[in-house]
Amino acid sequence: MTTLPLAGKAALVTGGSRGIGAAIVRRLAADGAAVAFTFSSAAVEAAAVVASVQAAGGRAEAMQADSADPDAVRDAVGAAVKMFGRLDILVNNAGLLGTRRLDGYDLDEFDRMYAVNVRAPFVAAEAARPHLGEGGRVLMIGSIVADRIGVSGAAVYATTKAAIAGMTRGLARDFGPKGVTVNNVQPGPTETDMNPASSPHYEWLKSQNPLGRVGQPQEIANLVAFLASPESSYINGASLTADGGFTI
């Protein structure tokens, strides 16, 4: 009998109701982990993710939490620990995507994007630290825009994702003595509800990729699952790109 790589582990995924987050929840559960995940407003989609995991024989639990609220983030970590009696894997996936030119940029929008994309992952990592032990994993979901920006209007979004890459390196130093690794997955263009096939930029994104297509959420989840597994034990503080060659 083959033992699943994450059997006996407990995970928390922020923003797990749709797109890449939902794919990560399903993949970690398929690998044997009990998975809690947060959602902000997509209750129907969250229930569907739970149902799909349960139908496949896994365990997933959804909880509503606005990542812009640091108390809600801390409460989600605490709830996951209480639910499973442990926490081994934290995936900071929740994020806001927005493109807008500088003229008339709404600073309230700037602050909310920074709160969700940067502050929330830091707060979640801080809250999870006492519960993560030897072999634990903290995983960030960044973006290739930390390294390359292909369109105008992405200055703020790119700033938040560059911050995630830097935070990953810093947290890797902080968590290392506990035997916990911290890594950052940087997806390229991926087909989600934030980047649907109906998007006006979809065909251009395909044309810029050597593979002639955009990525699928499960392909990002595959890399996350590897980094969450024992096989990735000597990878730490890294930002790993999964973009089909978009940025080469």
Mention every residue, 6+ apart, whose C-beta is less than 8 A from residue 17. 37, 39, 42, 43, 45, 46, 49, 62
Residue 57: is it exposed, middle or buried by C-beta count within 10 angstroms (0-12/13-18/19+)?
exposed
Concatenated DSSP letters of 143-169: -GGGT---STT-HHHHHHHHHHHHHHH
Q: Tens digit of pLDDT for each residue in 153-190? A: 789 999 999 999 999 999 999 999 999 999 999 999 99
For the residues 21-31, what does the mean pLDDT come to?
98
Checking if the pLDDT of 195 tops 90, the result is: no
Q: How many other C-beta atoms are found inside a 10 Å radius of the C-beta of residue 104?
A: 6
Q: Tens digit of pLDDT for each residue in 233-248? A: 999 999 999 999 999 9
Checking if the pLDDT of 144 tops 90, the result is: yes
Domain boundaries along the sequence of the chain: 10-242
CATH superfamily label, 10-242: NAD(P)-binding Rossmann-like Domain (3.40.50.720)
The three-point CA angle 184-74-179 to 5° equals 45
Catalytic position from the list 114, 157, 202, 234: 157
pLDDT score for 60: 98
Q: At 150, is the pLDDT very low, low, confident or very high (cuts 50, 70, 90)?
A: confident
Concatenated DSSP letters of the chain: -PPPTTTT-EEEESS-SSHHHHHHHHHHHHTT-EEEEEESS-HHHHHHHHHHHHHTT-EEEEEE--TT-HHHHHHHHHHHHHHHS---EEEE---------STT--HHHHHHHHIIIIIHHHHHHHHHGGG--TT-EEEEE--GGGT---STT-HHHHHHHHHHHHHHHHHHHHHGGGT-EEEEEEE-SB-BTTB-TTSTTHHHHHHTSTTSS-B-HHHHHHHHHHHHSGGGTT--S-EEEESTTTT-
Q: What is the pTM of this model?
A: 0.96
pLDDT score for 1: 62
221 and 27 Cβ atoms separated by less than 8 Å: yes
Q: Among 58-72, 88-102, 130-144, whose mean pLDDT is lowest?
A: 88-102
Q: At 127, is the pLDDT very low, low, confident or very high (cuts 50, 70, 90)?
A: very high
Checking if the pLDDT of 97 tops 90, the result is: no
Known catalytic residue at 202:
no
238 and 184 Cβ atoms separated by less than 8 Å: yes
Closest listed residue to residue 26, CA positions, set 91, 96, 119: 91
For the residues 218-246, what does the mean pLDDT come to?
98
Checking if the pLDDT of 8 tops 90, the result is: yes
Q: Among 1-15, 56-70, 92-106, whose mean pLDDT is lowest?
A: 92-106
Per the model's pLDDT, the better-predicted residue between 74 and 103 turns out to be 74
Beta bridge partners of 195: 192
pLDDT score for 217: 98
The residue type at 161: K
pLDDT score for 153: 79
**pLDDT averaged over every residue in the chain:** 95
